[in-house]
Amino acid sequence: EAQVTQNPRYLITVTGKKLTVTCSQNMNHEYMSWYRQDPGLGLRQIYYSMNVEVTDKGDVPEGYKVSRKEKRNFPLILESPSPNQTSLYFCASRRKGGERVKTGELFFGEGSRLTVL
Amino acid sequence: AQSVTQPDIHITVSEGASLELRCNYSYGATPYLFWYVQSPGQGLQLLLKYFSGDTLVQGIKGFEAEFKRSQSSFNLRKPSVHWSDAAEYFCAVGPSNFGNEKLTFGTGTRLTIIP
């Protein structure tokens, strides 16, 4: 089954304690991205990756890091979490687009709800 | 910069009634447009998408949307809603060239269905 898998699904942590949210996809997608969802703000992009070893900032990258060492994995790292990073996080992937490949459908994971105390 | 506006934060409709969710976008070139649905505790699922061609697109679960360039709109419709349609709906816009650009999402519309 094609899917994007995130772990953990739920996490409560304390300020300053480093954490990693893992994301893995089994569709051989080149493009992967992290979003955070907050009430009244919709989904905002944190980071994205066009391919292995290629990452770039989205709209709200402050306080986050990512890496893309393998095509299937795209972990989100919070080096020193703060309460304003309490949110619902989504990982997503899709095929790389292009002139003749009109695909933009993002496949989403089920989300990781993070609470930072 | 691209943007999406969903003017209705929350909509309540009766089961069996028709539904229209509004979406307005701002983008300089020809956009790709999407509607996603998020059920409670779930990720986002694609309902339908518009890239080009026929401006009325059909999606899953009986939904359709119409692209109106003159109004910069991409409203989602369903002729008769079911209780299982209760969810949050997101409109999104993307670039016509998928290079390094992203999808921009609206703030969502929460749909409540009453018996």
Q: B52-104 pLDDT, tens per residue?
A: 888 899 999 999 999 999 999 999 999 999 999 999 999 998 864 555 557 88
| A105–B43 C-beta distance less than 8 A | no
Distance CA B91, CA B68 (A): 14
List CB contacts (< 8 A) between A99 and chain B.
Answer: 97
A33 with A25: CB under 8 angstroms? no
**Residue A100: is its pLDDT beyond 50?**
no
List CB contacts (< 8 A) between A92 and chain B.
Answer: 44
Residue carrying the six token digits 């692209």 = B67
> Taking Cα atoms as reference points, which of A66, A70, A71 lies closest to residue A55?
A66
Interface residues on A facing B, Cβ-Cβ cutoff 8 A: 4, 33, 35, 40-45, 48, 50, 56, 58, 90, 92, 96-99, 102-106, 108-111
Residues 6+ apart with CB under 8 A from A62: none
CB neighbour class for A32 (10 Å; exposed up to 12, middle 13-18, buried from 19): buried
| B90–A110 C-beta distance less than 8 A | no
The model's pLDDT over A1-10, given as tens digits with 9 standing for 90+, comes to 889 999 999 9
